[in-house]
Chain A
Amino acid sequence: MNWLRELGRRIRMLMHRRQFDADLEAEMRLHLEMREQEHLESGMKADDARAVARRRFGNPTYLKEESHIAWGWKWLENLAQDVHYGLRMLGRAPGFTVVAVLTLALGIGADTAIFSVVDGVLLRPLPYQAPDRLVSIAELAPGHRGISVAYANYLDWKAQNESFENLAIYNTEGVVLQGTDGSDRLDAWIVSASFLPTLGVPVALGRSFSEEDERTAARVLVLTEGFWKRRFGGDPAVINRQVTIDSQPFTIIGVLPPYFRAYFGFSTPPEVLMPLAPQYAGHQKIWLTRSNHNGNLAIARLRPGISLERARADLNAIAARLDKQYPDTNAGISVFMQPVIDDIAGDIRPALLILLAAVGAVLLIACANLANLQIARSSSRTSEIAIRMALGARRSRVIRQLLTESVLLGVVGGSLGALLAKWCVSAVVKAGPRDLPRLDGITVNEQVLIFTAGLSLLTGILFGLIPASQASSISTNAALKEAGRTGGLTRSGRRIGNGLVVAEMALSLLLLISAALLIRSFARLRSVDPGFNPEGVLTFRLATPDDRYPDDDRRVHFYEAVLQRLRALPGIDFAGGVTPLPMSGSGWQNDYRLEGQPVPEDKQFPSTEVHFVAPDYFRVMEIALRRGRLLAERDRKGALPVVVINETAARRFWPNQDPIGKRIRTGAPLDLVSSDEKESPWWVVVGVVGDVHQYTLERVSKTDVYFSIRQRVGFLQTFTVRASVPPLTLAEPIRRAIADLDAKVPVFRFESMEQYVSASLDSRRLVLALMGGFAGLATLLAAVGIYGVISYGVTERTHEIGVRMALGASRGDILRMVLAQSARLLTTGVAIGLIASVFATAVLRNQLFGIGPHNPGTHAGVAILLILTALLASYIPAWRATKVAPMVALRYE
């Protein structure tokens, strides 16, 4: 504890250091005076007495200093002194200070903003227990990127695996909550009882699903906190309350904690969690059909110490056994497994890392700029520094002083930058790009601020160190002799300055090329014809309660009534509907078999996209008819089963043949040779329509087969209408028209088709805007940088220019001379940048569309743009050089 008491004494001294100094002073004075008195009394003369006393005492200043140092606060006092001095110096150069602080605020602010996104999306642990042990699981079939999990397979995994602490399966469904005051349409996740235990999320109120619930298929309900607040006003008495969902009584058993978010799995987060057991109990046969991959996803918690690879091998071994056991359904099916964070952020990670690199480059450019400014400035401070060194300041002390100045700038700039970042981040979150996961977690939090603080210090040191060591390496003698003249840069100072500008140019070029490639990709993407005309199309959904619309016939009947009402509304030209809607993120696939083709030996049927439409859908979307006819009113139950296919399907299914009249079978079982019409009829192709981008503008069309809901499925996910007025203005009339038919049917999610198309570009737009902004900023900084260097060079060479002009050089000669200097720097920078781009832009490959990472036209165009900008920046000082009056210049010395 001794050291602690000692520290206490030291701190007390620091608090009272004025008193301390006064005490020491008084004490020493007393000593000297008493000694002097003693000598006087022994008969010395007054002068001698004082001199001897002083000699015996030693150097009081040195001794005071020593006493001071003893207390160990020297460093702090030095720092305070440096800061004080630094602030004074910065205050004396307000122009430089403002430019430096703004540059740093932009640079550090941009870095902070991007880092908060990276932190919120990639780095922060997911709000589940030990999230790094969570894996998401799907199945892999040959030729697919991943398919949903067949329930029967899941049951086998659950029973046989040795890798998981817990394994859960879940699905999503829109359900209707019927109340006395109207119906609400809810997004529910249908989950196994193991779901919440797998995540390690407890309920905040009530209880979670139990194994008992699962066994008895109890109709129980767990609410999310948000839904509980919104629908029940946060009333704790909801526990054990009965509600009616899709005409079935459910008991609310629990409420989830506020931090619960389902970031993984489906794009629509749940409002309530419902047990899977009642659905399974009602339709066991379908659920246990192993070929029925009906949208289920699985999530599992690895046992401690079990690696992802081991777990994957474990499940694949099970899958291989199932393959042998059930070759009809499980042949070739394996398991897809990845960490749950990859499921959430895997797609956006490369783009974020690229942005982080880009923004780092911007900060580097800002640093280079400031270093250059500092070097130029310190050259005018040469004599000040020389005097300080002549007076005995050590070199390290001078460097420390200069570094303090730049770190001060870094800290002030960083603080401003943090504010800037806070503002940017809230703007990004508010814009809410669809593909950016965990948006709600993106904030400028303490961790981010620590990053910013570190970055600010580092930045200050980075841009301060070169100028400081430059400035302090001067020869005192030479500097003092030159002090009368205008300070000039040392040769190495100039070389470093030029090097920094070259580096800035190269980095800016890289950023500009990246931005240009992204812009061109985006433009190509925007000009992609989606195969339909989104302009003027309004979409919405409705949910038909099962009690009044229990089967396809009654549902379709209701849909037709709705469509009829819609067509009657003013402003609506056509009304139709589709399952699933293009660009909405969902898709349905079926295996298929073409007539006349043999059943593949391994029963591996190919698969196609399938769509179910209300006939006018094609007219609403303006999907082009290429051959034959569209689906029509007369194609209903009992009539000839017909389909329309897209051009890709026509080409792939029947190359070089007329597809009209050909027959196709989809849905199980496909291998029936005797045609059991009831199970799986042969569908006759009656028309061919144009290709449509069903998922994204990037992904080309696959084979599409369109059925009429009157003949198959009997469910419309989305209604679509073509409007002759602004689409969204129709929402209210449509709502009223449908309420007229059935007030208990919830109508929701009114969105124009253009919104869907635009949303599919959201994250690309964000990346592009950021990259473009960074490239612009980098170019601006680089232009300022070259302006600074050239303009400083001109000032330095005023004398030389004067001489040249006196000797007969024309203005044009001078202009050329100055511009040539800048052109040398530029071309070097651009050349380096172009070489670097060969390696650097390759990382962009996956972010690009319709253009490669090495596009000579883009590279050259951007390089020329940068050179022009930089030449423009250096033209100003060059032009000023031509205005030098020879006589003034010569007198300037």
Chain B
Amino acid sequence: MPRGANVHRDEIPPGTLYLLILKTLARLGEMHGYEIANSIQRVSDDVLQVEEGSLYPALQRMLIKGWVTAKWGTTAGNRRARYYRLTSAGRKQLTLEMSQFERVIGAVTRVIEAV
């Protein structure tokens, strides 16, 4: 595939990866890593691009925090995959991260508009 054909993709702003994963899982329920990556891309119209692999360390951290749980299942293509699901702690975290995110974005917007 010729590389030039790609639309320009932006790196995810640091720290928002959790938010994106949490939001995705909240919207769509149980998913495995590949689906999460695809979903983030699709929803953001291919603008936001995760370095796909970095999902996994993030998911590990979220497992430690107890925001998500994981369990092995089979995909539609009958392959074994690990499915992640939001916990109630994860839902709380999502609300928290959302409000934080909005506060920051709001502030940034105000700064930009003031110029």
Contacts and interface: CB of A to CB of B under 8 A. Distances in A.
B54 A44 contact: no
B53 interface: yes
A2 interface: yes
B38 to A, nearest CB: 9
Interface size on A, as a range, is 20 to 34
A67 B60 contact: yes
Contacts of B33: 27-28, 30-31
A70 B60 contact: yes
B64 A70 contact: yes
Interface of A is mostly: helix
A31 B34 contact: yes
A57 B52 contact: yes
Interface string B6-27: 0000000000000000000000
A26 B61 CA distance: 18
B57 A70 contact: yes
Contacts of A70: 57, 60-61, 64
Contacts of B65: 6
Interface in A26-82: 26-28, 30-31, 34-35, 39, 42, 44, 48, 52, 56-60, 63-64, 66-67, 69-72
Interface in A591-639: none
Contacts of B110: none
- Which has the most chain A C-beta neighbours within 10 Å: B37, B53, B64, B66? B53
A52 B57 CA distance: 21
B50 to A, nearest CB: 9
Contact of A28 (B51, B56, B72): B56
Nearest to A7: B64
Nearest to A54: B53
A540 to B, nearest CB: 79
Given A31-B37, A57-B52, A59-B53, A23 B82 contact: yes
Interface in B24-72: 32-34, 37, 49, 51-54, 56-57, 60-61, 63-66, 72
Does more than half of chain B's interface fall in helix, strand or loop, or is it mixed?
A: helix
Contacts of A883: none
A565 interface: no
B14 to A, nearest CB: 14
A23 B83 CA distance: 12
A63 B60 CA distance: 11
A42 B51 CA distance: 21
A10 interface: yes
Contact of B34 (A9, A35, A69, A71): A35
Contact of B53 (A10, A13, A23, A60): A60
Contacts of B57: 63, 66-67, 69-70
B54 A63 contact: yes
Contacts of B81: 27, 30
A491 interface: no
A72 to B, nearest CB: 8
A31 B79 CA distance: 11
B66 A58 contact: no
B1 interface: yes
A42 B2 CA distance: 13
Nearest to B51: A58
A6 B66 contact: yes
A285 interface: no
Contacts of A31: 33-34, 37, 52-53
A56 B60 contact: no
Interface of A: 2, 5-6, 9-10, 13, 23-24, 26-28, 30-31, 34-35, 39, 42, 44, 48, 52, 56-60, 63-64, 66-67, 69-72
Top 4 A-B pairs, shortest CB-CB distance:
A58-B53, A66-B57, A67-B60, A63-B53
Given A60-B53, A70-B64, 7 more contacts: A26-B80, A27-B33, A31-B52, A35-B52, A63-B54, A63-B56, A67-B56
